[in-house]
Structure 1
Amino acid sequence: MDNYSDKRIYLAVEIEPGTLLRMIRNLLFLFTFLLFSEASAQFIVQGKVTDAETGDPIPFASVLLKGTTLGMNTDFEGNYSLSAKSLPDSIVVSYIGYLTQSKPLSNQAEQTLNFQLRPSDFQLEAFVFEAGENPAFEIIRKAVAKKKEFDKRSLTAYETKNYTKIEIDIDHVAEEFAQRKSVRKVTAVLDSIKQLTNDEGEKILPIFFSETLSKFYYRNNPELRKEIVEKSRVTGVGITDGSTTSQITGSVFQEYNFYKNWLSILEKDFVSPIADGWKAFYDYDLMDSVLVGQDSCYMLQVYPRREQDLAFSGTIWINKETYALKQVDLTIPKETNLNFVERIKIQQELVPTPPGPLIPSKSRIQIKIGQVTPKTAGLLAKFYTSSDSLKLNDPAPTSFFNQAVVLKPDFNTGNEEFWRANRQDPLSSEELAVLQMVDTLKRIPVIRFYTEGLKFFATGYLPVGKMDLGPWPGFFNYNNVEGIRLGVGGRTNLKFSNKWLLQGYLAYGFKDERFKYTGSVTRVLDRNRWTTMRLGSQREIEQVGLEIASLEGNSIFLAASRFGTLRRAYMSTKHELNFQREFFKGFLFSAAVNVAQFEPLYDFYYLDKDTRDYRSRFETTEARFALRYGRDEIVIINDNERVSFGPSKWPIVQLNYARGLRWLGGDITYDKLSFYLYQRLNMGMLGVSRYELDAGKVFGEVPYPILKNHLGNETLFYTSAAFNTMNLNEFASDQYLSLRYRHFFEGFLLNKIPLIKKLKWRAVANANFLYGSVQDKNVENSPNRDPNGNPLETFGSLDPYVPYVELGYGIENIFKFFRVDFFHRMTYLDNPEAKPFAVKISAQIIL
């Protein structure tokens, strides 16, 4: 009997052994995939974090998946990328100084979310420690103690390949400014181009963009720098030739080393957060311990003890093991005692070299200039530098550093394909739009008109083809000798030749009915070791003690002294042959032969020692030699001229010698020896000092116009080149020693006065000393009366044991432009017409 529950159906299948193994393997793979597919599923969220106002990346921002521990910091370009097995409902981005922002997440395997963070006015309150020391202090103390280990200046030498880009924009355009007829012409043309705006909807108008690929060289002991610009692309409103601009848009001018105690930015000195005297300037908060790359770091908030000090506010990251700086994100806030500057922001990423010192791998600097008046616009300048291909300890010879910046012959030949292939970081879509807009802007006629006009006013010259017309201050003058004076001049530019420079001017005085002129031909023999030969000729009205050659750097004072009444004027005719060469870095030698005629336009006589006759005119033939040394002076070649940006730390020293030669046609034999020393001193929290030491001696018997006629100042305007309570031609010397000392307190004193500090006034001080004397023989050959007994103008001499002393104090930055100085004359008060007290004013554009 059949039992239903025991019924079976049996199937017989014949399978080969190899096929069976493959089936088992496939089944196992399918089983494993089904088992782990849910656990191994990955979601990727990526994007970029930028500043909502400027569009710049925000590095080091915190990105966190809400409700989880998954997060990271953005890289230097503001990018982030997170992977997760499952996603929460949102992602949060935060950074100190910005409003925190969150965005919802969708259920997608990959998604891109970009964040534009708005700056926040929220100020982080300082932690209050009731017992013990602020824990951040111990971290800073250890970082400062190990500065020498990580300062790149301790390297013997290094070389990097650098990429630098600079962008300058007009922003915060006032409505009244935008409605001007000339501005509307510009915006009408730009309407066809993608408009760049900040987060508030305000248009940003780019006016300059540059890219530079270069090799940067550094050598220690002596400390020298050089940049070889391999490729450069410069486009900007008013830029007619990129050779000069390309020298200053590279990385040599974008160095920021926080291991220095003081950083020079826009010719102001800002104290580093890890300076030796950090505790006098900064407070710190230990915010967190974070992982930056592979390094565990302390994250510290820094801020100035006094809001108007030249100090930084922001965040620094310090390696927990080595106490080396890892990253910085620092800002100079608007409250700092600066003019026009609303913000300076510096972001930097540092990497260690094999010996230990740190090299900045990437730096980003942003300088925001506010509106000078409510009816104008502001400026926004952005600088970015990245470095790679580091080479160490292969110092080049000193002669290699003769010129701070060198352009390769084909520096401006790179096309768009070259830049795409060689720039270290690709341009963003916004930067590509900037390039297009700047190229369009500079071709608009009204833009070209205004930019050329501004350049003409600033430089004094107007480019017209291969010539530059100018300088414009020489076009018109009026004084008691010439009456109305009209002139015209010009010079050749680089389009004419890079080896020859021709320049000159012609002027006519309608009262004296005389032509005046100057002309010169310069041959550039060597541009690497700057070597030139110059032949010049001049016929011009000069003033004793106010010669044009000695006042070239004081154009306002020179122009003021040549209007109105001329003092002790004379017609000067000069012919000169000059040679100069830079033998090694900073060491310039020059030699010249000068033939000059002195034709007085006032009553003047001197006693000829040979004939014992009184003469009013004389001729001199001088052989001159000069040595000038600036150890760390930065010099560039501007077209066919050598331009100095001044020294950084070491003094400028100059030694001059001149020999008056009778056998070459001169009337007088003499020797003149002089020594000059200039230095800028950083006095820390006390401010900045500058001093000039000048000493000299005249050997021989000479008329007083050949002596050192010390420069006085009878104008209302202040000048550092003169003694401001001394009258013109009051003193002359044949041996002398002078010291002019100027100190700028910046905000040191007035920043502490509650009401005054809001005005951002800054105290200044002056102290000028002069020792001098005249030998009896030089007094005797300058008589008080002419041969007919009429009185003559002569000179005064100093007591060799009593110095001339004047002390001054003043306030600068009044209404951001004006300066007032008060001077007290301390000695020689019994001289006729002596002024014991003087007030001088000046106008200046300073930060």
Structure 2
Amino acid sequence: MKRPVFFLLFFFISISTFAQYRIKGKVTDAETGDPIPFAAVYAPGARVGMNTDFEGGYELNLKTWTDSIRVSYLGYVTQTKAIQELPEQTINFQLRPSDFELEAFVFEAGENPAFEIIRQAVARRKDFDKRSLEAYETKNYTKIEIDIDHLSEEFRQRKTVQKVTSVLDSIRQLTNDEGEKILPVFFSETLSHFYFRNNPLLKKEIVEKSKVTGVGITDGSTTSQITGSAFQEYNFYKNWLTILEKDFVSPIADGWKTFYDYDLMDSVLVGQDSCYQLQVYPRREQDLAFSGTIWIKKEDYSLKQVDLTIPKTANLNFIERIKIQQELEPTIMGPLIPAKTRVQIKIGQVTPNTAGLLAKFYTATDSVFITDPKPTSFFNNSVELKPDFGDATEEFWAENRIDQLSSEELAVLQMVDTLKKIPVIRFYSEGLKFFATGFLPVGKIDLGPWTEFGNYNNVEGLRGGFGLRTNYKFSNKWAFQGYLAYGFKDQRFKYSVSGKNILDRKRWTTIELSSSKEIDQVGLEMESLEGNSVFLAASRFGTLRRPFISTNQQLKFQREFFKGFLFQAGIKLSQFDPLYDFYYLEKGTGDYKSDFQTTELRASLRYGRDEIILINDNERASFGPSKWPIFELKFARGIQWLNGEVDYRKLDFYIYQRVNMGLFGVSRYELDAGKVFGEVPYPILKNHLGNGTAFYTTAAFNTMNFNEFASDQFISLRYRHFFEGFLLNRIPLMRKLKWRAVANANILFGSVSDKNITNAPTFDPQGNPIETFGRLDPTKPYLELGYGIENIFKFFRVDFFHRMTYLDSPDANGFAVKVSAQIIL
């Protein structure tokens, strides 16, 4: 009897084994093709379900057959598909986003149970914040894809677009029938090592290998510095996350209850961890806050994973969606490191007849090392490229990618390579770069800047010019630049030429020699306005105020001794030849003179503790500070040899900082103080920059006239605040228009010593009155207050300024309206 029983038992076990059904597949976003992690996959008839992994994959093993399988996820339309009675099959889902509104949960008594979970998670933030580690290193893989989407029929019918119709048509074969047509224009992959050190807080990324292909990308050295993981870091254990220069509050920030509501949705198993699944959404829909789902481990209240979206209702321009998905893993010391992060930024059409943009960022961490801190000198450069960063075969990438490319991504690579070779695409991409940078690359030289090609003013009349510079292809050690211009009215040539030798690229060290002859204006010198090209161009068009011919020869040396600390020194020989009625009394003789020469010895120190610096080919480019202020100290000594005629000393101190004010917006301030020691002609004094144009600028006092005041000692504060919708969001019409309030306050204390007042005669040698400069009362500040609206029609800003003091000055402008155009998110 044993054998028949054993046989029947074996038969039933075999039947149950072979009767299992294995169903696997992938769940993706129908519009973007991106995986949808954490989606619920459920077979109703078999009562079996699971969540998709970070790559959107799932695998169900059914003991009994059922006729359908269903996939659902918050923010997407639930989809059900039929399944066949087969032992193994693959069923993929493409979910379409839905416009959804969360239903309010009503609790009859007691506190929302989600609040205690969040309270515990916030209380333990320091235990899991990776910034609490003394030092760590990670090996990362990052890929970025940028596509043009929203390809409307009007856009496709344009003549320029029709020239690439064959390429666009082939895209249909590369996407799923349920997906949207896209035009990929950029794709990059990067393998890098990321280094972190605490106390002081320092970060660095060394790009070991990088592959960049894209429309308009001619050299990957600069692009490769910003395609690594350093710029894709999202830490939800910080109170605020900066995305696209906007600050978004974390769901587990200290002030969580001010910004968020929460619903406890479920208790789920994520991998081996039992987690609370919570839905989060902003209390005020216009706030820069997230909406979505977070998973918090029951064991220690640490974040396990997040799937968060910035809602369409947030006060942002052009952005249709910002979505962040992240998986976190603990280190051996406890704090969490993101194992995988996926970010999607969807930019809508500026106008109905244009196209949109879709950017996808993915970072995976292969390994984490808890190490001893590296010396601070190691962190001199925020991003460093290995010498052979661009030399890698396809076989190397196939072996070293943490995640292999999907068939769709391989098709994207092929498409980008095809597109960038099409002549019309190359023409428009180069044209856009020329407009944005001012230079047009032609082999080893760049033509430009285009702002020097033409101008018109009362001194030069019609002005024409031409310039060029060498680029990285010419040399990574030497850089030459120059331009030549001619005024048809004054019949003078103007020029500028310079040569720079880069001695050390790691500790940015250069020596530069330059010579120039140009028309400048007192208080509007080109050297002080190099970073404000729009205002400089506007001020040099039309009527020039107190113009002079400025002839300069300069030798300059600079070196970054450690991260953020830049030293500069040099010597500058200048000649001032006025083109207006100007005289000063020569020291010692009392004779009238109208021109003078100076020889300055210069030195300066600049320190930005967390300023992000990139080496842009042969230039050092700043991305600004993250949190800490930037300090600058400058000293100049005018000497009476090497043709110098004036003996003086100048000392200047400058601070700039961006301050996040949380719910109230963002502030920026600039503190500037200086003193001139010695008796000097007034063009050497601090001629405070006024703004006589109709355009708003942060560099000037906007109700002050040009050349209205000068000082030999001063201190000023320029303060700007951006409410980011805080005030106007409470007005229904303003909320719909997404207008944003701004505020300004500019204050200046200054004075001039008696000897410099005497040095500037008010009459020429013939007794005719001449203009000099206005003086400030040392006990009375110059004060102007402003308010305005930005984001008008998404591009324009209008500011209203009230001059509060010195209203009795000649030609005082008590009220001014300034306009400006800007592209902001």
Q: Please state which band the TM-score falls in when normalised by the shorter chain.
A: over 0.9
Q: Does 1:409 align with 2:409?
A: no
CA contact (8 A) 1:490 1:504 kept: yes
1:104 is aligned, of 70, 82, 94, to 82
What is aligned with 1:264? 242
Corresponding position of 2:359 = 381
> What SS does the corresponding residue of 1:120 show, helix, strand or coil?
coil
2:171–2:182: 8 Å Cα contact kept in structure 1? no
Within-5 A mapping of 1:325-364:
325-364=303-342
Whole-angstrom distance in 2 between the partners of 1:760 and 1:195: 39
Q: Which residue of 2 aligns with 1:775?
A: 753
Alignment partner of 2:368 out of 370, 387, 390: 390
- Give the TM-score, by structure 1 length: 0.96
Q: Choose which of 116, 122, 147 in structure 1 pairs with 2:94.
A: 116
User: Offset at 1:108?
Assistant: 1.7
Give the match for residue 493 of structure 1: 471
| 2:181 counterpart residue number | 203
CA distance, structure 2, for counterparts of residue 843 and residue 560 of structure 1: 14
Once the two structures are TM-superposed, the CA of residue 612 in structure 1 deviates from its matched residue by 1.5
- Code of the residue aligned with 1:664 in structure 2: it is L
How does 1:89-168 map onto structure 2 within 5 Å?
A: 89-168=67-146
Opposite residue 320 of structure 1, the aligned amino acid is K
The CA deviation string for residues 607-645 of structure 1, in whole angstroms up to 9 with x for no partner, is 011221111010000000000000001111111000010
Q: Secondary structure at the match of 1:83?
A: strand
C-alpha contact 1:198 1:204 (8 A) present in aligned 2: no
Q: Is the 8 A contact 2:168 2:183 kept in 1?
A: no
Quick one: distance in 2 between partners of 1:210 and 1:232?
A: 7
AA aligned opposite 1:37: S
**What is the distance in 2 between the residues matched to 1:657 and 1:198?**
64
Query: What RMSD, in angstroms, separates the aligned Cα atoms of the two structures?
Result: 1.4
Q: What displacement does 1:196 show?
A: 3.9
**The structure with more radius of gyration:** 1
Per-residue displacement from partner, 1:691-744 (whole Å, max 9, x unpaired)? 000000000000100000000000000000000000011000000000000000
Q: Does 1:596 align with 2:574?
A: yes
**Following TM superposition, by how much is the alpha carbon of 1:192 offset from its aligned partner in structure 2, in angstroms?**
5.2
Instruction: Confirm or deny: 8 A CA contact 2:685 2:710 kept in the other structure.
Output: yes
Query: Which deviates the most, 661-670 or 682-691?
Result: 661-670
User: CA–CA distance in 2 between the matches of 1:636 and 1:29?
Assistant: 74
Give the CA deviation at 1:300: 0.6
Aligned to 1:728: 706
Q: Any unmatched runs of 5+ in structure 2?
A: none
Q: Which residue of 2 aligns with 1:21?
A: none
* Residue 170 (str. 1) matches residue 140 (str. 2): no
8 A contact 1:196–1:203 mirrored in 2:
no
2:673 to 691, 695, 701: 695
CA–CA separation in structure 2 for the residues paired with 1:35 and 1:761: 71
Q: Work out the CA distance in 1 between the residues paired with 2:716 and 2:609.
A: 23
Structure 2 counterparts to residues 831-846 of structure 1, below 5 A: 831-846=809-824
Worse-superposed segment, 294-303 or 90-99: 90-99
SS at match of 1:777: helix
> 2:490 matched to 1:483?
no
Q: What is the number of residues matched between the two proteins?
A: 824
Aligned twin of 1:638: 616
Q: Distance in 2 between matches of 1:434 and 1:63?
A: 28
Task: Name the counterpart of 2:432.
Answer: 454
Counterpart pick for 1:515 among 493, 513, 516 = 493
Give the conservation status (yes or no) of the 8 Å contact 1:99–1:117: yes
Deviation at 1:194? 6.2
| Alpha-carbon distance, 1:229 to partner | 0.5
SS in 1 for 2:552: strand
Deviations 1:466-494 (A, max 9, x none): 10000001100110111110000000001
Normalization by structure 2: what TM-score? 0.98
Match of residue 270, structure 2, among 270, 281, 292: 292
Q: Deviations over 1:57-85 (max 9, x none)?
A: 00001111213442211110001112232
Counterpart in the other structure of 1:12: none
Distance 1:68 1:294 in 2: 23
Which residue does the alignment assign to 2:558? 580
The question of whether the paired residues in 2 share the 8 Å contact of 1:536 and 1:577 is answered with yes
Q: Secondary structure at the match of 2:139?
A: strand
Quick one: which of 5, 14, 17 aligns to 1:40? 17
State which of 497, 502, 505 in structure 2 corresponds to 1:524.
502
- In the alignment, is the contact (CA less than 8 A) between 2:171 and 2:183 conserved in 1? no
How far is the alpha carbon of 1:655 from its aligned partner? 0.4
**Would the aligned equivalents of 2:317 and 2:794 in 1 still touch at CA under 8 Å?**
yes
Q: In the TM superposition, what is the alpha-carbon distance from 1:195 to its structure 2 partner?
A: 3.9
Corresponding residue SS for 1:778: helix
Distance 2:381 2:409 in 1: 32
CA contact (8 A) 1:605 1:615 kept: yes
Cα 1:374–1:198 shift into 2, 3 Å: farther
Q: Distance in 2 between matches of 1:834 and 1:546?
A: 20
Which of residues 679, 686, 689 is equivalent to 1:711?
Answer: 689
Gapped regions of structure 1 (runs ≥ 5): 1-23
Equivalent residue, structure 1, for 2:646: 668
In the alignment, structure 1 residue 77 sits paired with structure 2 residue 55: yes
Q: Specify the SS of the correspondent of 1:440.
A: helix
Contact 1:349 1:361 in 2 (8 A): yes
Partner of 1:5: none
Kept in 2: contact 1:522–1:532 (CA 8 A) = yes
C-alpha distance in 1, partners of 2:11/2:181? 55
1-side partners of 2:677 and 2:2: how far apart? Answer: 108
Is the 8 Å Cα contact of residues 39 and 52 (structure 2) preserved in structure 1?
Answer: yes
Q: Of 241, 248, 251, which aligns to 2:229?
A: 251
Do the aligned partners of 1:196 and 1:204 also contact (CA within 8 Å) in 2?
Answer: no
C-alpha contact 1:53 1:199 (8 A) present in aligned 2: no
Q: Which of 569, 580, 584 is residue 547 of structure 2 equivalent to? A: 569
Per the alignment, residue 784 of structure 1 pairs with 762
Aligned-pair identity in percent equals: 76
Shift of 1:34: 2.4
Is the CA contact 2:215–2:420 (under 8 Å) kept in the aligned structure 1?
yes
Q: Which residue pairs with 1:8 in the alignment?
A: none
Aligned partners of 2:784, 2:174: CA distance in 1, in Å? 56
> For 2:164, what is the secondary structure of its paired residue?
helix
Separation in 1, partners of 2:521, 2:51: 67
Question: 1:219, 1:396 within 8 Å by CA — same for their partners in 2?
Answer: yes
29-38 vs 780-789, which moves further: 29-38
Distance 2:596 2:173 in 1: 69
